[in-house]
């Protein structure tokens, strides 16, 4: 059972930057898992933000492409989400997810079984 813990959320001004981290209890890379970031704003459905898979494949939602960067660190059981040029519309709870999913479905919420508890990002 993979446990995921997010960190790095907080409050930032419009145009600012934040970096989120997600630590997995086991090496998801060795399992060939994709790891992804999702977010859920108040009153809205959860949406995929960015994903990185064992193949090196990455994917981004159109709303964050060019502003957010997902990466995996050398230990391969931590992923990070660098968020630049943040806007109020980015305000949400950000969740980390992991599972053995295809590259093509790496931003599909329903394909993920393991989830973190979320970290709040507020842009004002």
Q: 99 with 114: CB under 8 angstroms?
A: yes
Strands 10-12 and 78-83: unpaired
Give yes or no for residue 98 having a pLDDT over 70: yes
In this predicted structure, the answer to whether residue 81 has a pLDDT above a threshold of 90 is yes
What is the structure's pLDDT at 74? 58
- Above 70 in pLDDT, residue 1? yes
Write the DSSP symbol of residue 44. S
**Which residue, among 36, 57, 60, 53, has the nearest Cα to 116 in the 3D structure?**
36
Average the pLDDT over each of 8-17, 37-46, 85-94, 105-114 and give the range with the smallest value.
Answer: 105-114
pLDDT for the residue 36: 96
């Amino acid at each position: 059972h993979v446990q995921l813990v997010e960190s790095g959320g907080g409050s930032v001004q419009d145009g600012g930057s934040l970096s989120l981290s997600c630590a997995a209890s086991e090496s998801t890379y060795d399992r060939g898992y994709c790891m992804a970031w999702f977010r859920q704003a108040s009153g809205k459905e959860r949406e995929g933000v960015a994903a990185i898979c064992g193949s090196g494949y990455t994917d981004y939602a159109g709303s964050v492409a060019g502003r957010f960067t997902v990466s995996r660190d050398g230990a391969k059981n931590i992923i990070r989400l660098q968020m630049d040029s943040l806007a109020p519309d980015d305000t949400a709870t950000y969740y980390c997810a992991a599972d053995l999913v295809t590259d093509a479905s790496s931003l599909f919420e329903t394909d993920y079984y393991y989830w973190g508890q979320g970290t709040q990002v507020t842009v004002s």
